[in-house]
Amino acid sequence: MNRIIVIVGPTASGKTNLSIELAKAMDGEIISADSMQIYKYMDIGTAKPTKDEMQGIKHYLINEVLPSEDFNVVRFKELAEKYIVKILEKNKQPIVAGGTGLYISSLINNINFSESESDWELREALKKEVDELGPEHLHKKLQEVDPDSALNIHPNNIKRVIRALEVYYQTHKPISYHNEISRKTPPKYEFILVGLSMDRQVLYERINRRVDIMVENGLVDEVKKLVNLGYADSIISMQGIGYKEILEYLRNTYTLEQAIENIKQGTRRYAKRQITWFKRINGIKWFNLDNSGNNINVFNEIYEYIKG
């Protein structure tokens, strides 16, 4: 069975650097599992690796779609599996790296989210309900038909609440049932799961510094360019952390200083949610990094673990 390396961890933990070093050492190519790096024109706010930082390593699922295009876990899984096959056909090592927990889970647990096609009319009707009655109303509807999913989906995660209701209304079975059936299908690959962790305070300092660098590198101009290209505030990509806060600054809702602080706070909270999600996944081997920038010993440990 072919082995697929999967690198997970919170934002700013060093996944990109590690994946590139591993790809160099193991003749690999990288598939991004990041729900924001998928979008074109959104480079600075997503911490997308530059061409120089990629060091000649082929990356997939970066700059794949326009910011206005709908991209979800179904498309991620389809494309990720297609690119895994492509990399294996070259006799190279596939390396999946990213922090979007739902994407990672869909791949390693072989979850088939596409059991039912999207019902766009139903989806629009449910969105209208949210607008008129609020997210708690919709979440209560989910609790009635699929309490397991309701327990695992936050009321404010409207997109996932709607998808869970959509699956139930179409199949008369909860999405948790489909997920369980999918997990019973034997996996095509052996997944080697590597998690990166570090002291929480050190991680938060790295996040704060990363946001400062994004601003220095032109995050405000990047958001202005997206607005000038016609991308509306309401589309999902423009609601990503770093983009919605700068939009609010451009709309004079906040000062730039407040917008920057909001980005830092939002990113720290996101990192906390990522850690919680990944801790629930069985089989991840965790490696602790420090803030010295010299983690060669940890890299060697990870390399030996994968080889072993």
Q: What is the set of domains in the chain, with CATH numbers? A: 3-110+187-307 (3.40.50.300), 120-183 (1.10.20.140)
**Known binding site for substrate: residues?**
11-16
Which tokens sit at 163?
């998808």
**Known binding site: residues?**
9-16
Q: How many CA atoms lie within 13 A of 230 on its CB side?
A: 2
Look at the chain and count its residues: 308
Q: What is the DSSP string of 139-173?
A: HHHHHHH-HHHHHHS-TT-HHHHHHHHHHHHHHSS
Which H/E stretch holds residue 231? none
pLDDT of residue 135: 87
**Known binding site for ATP: residues?**
9-16
pLDDT of residue 231: 95
Q: Is the pLDDT of residue 116 over 60?
A: no
pLDDT of residue 214: 98
Q: What would the pLDDT profile of 127-185 be if each residue is shown by its tens digit?
A: 888 888 888 999 999 999 988 888 878 888 888 898 888 878 877 788 777 777 766 77
Q: What would the pLDDT profile of 229-271 be if each residue is shown by its tens digit?
A: 999 888 989 999 999 999 999 999 999 999 999 999 999 999 9
pTM of the model: 0.83
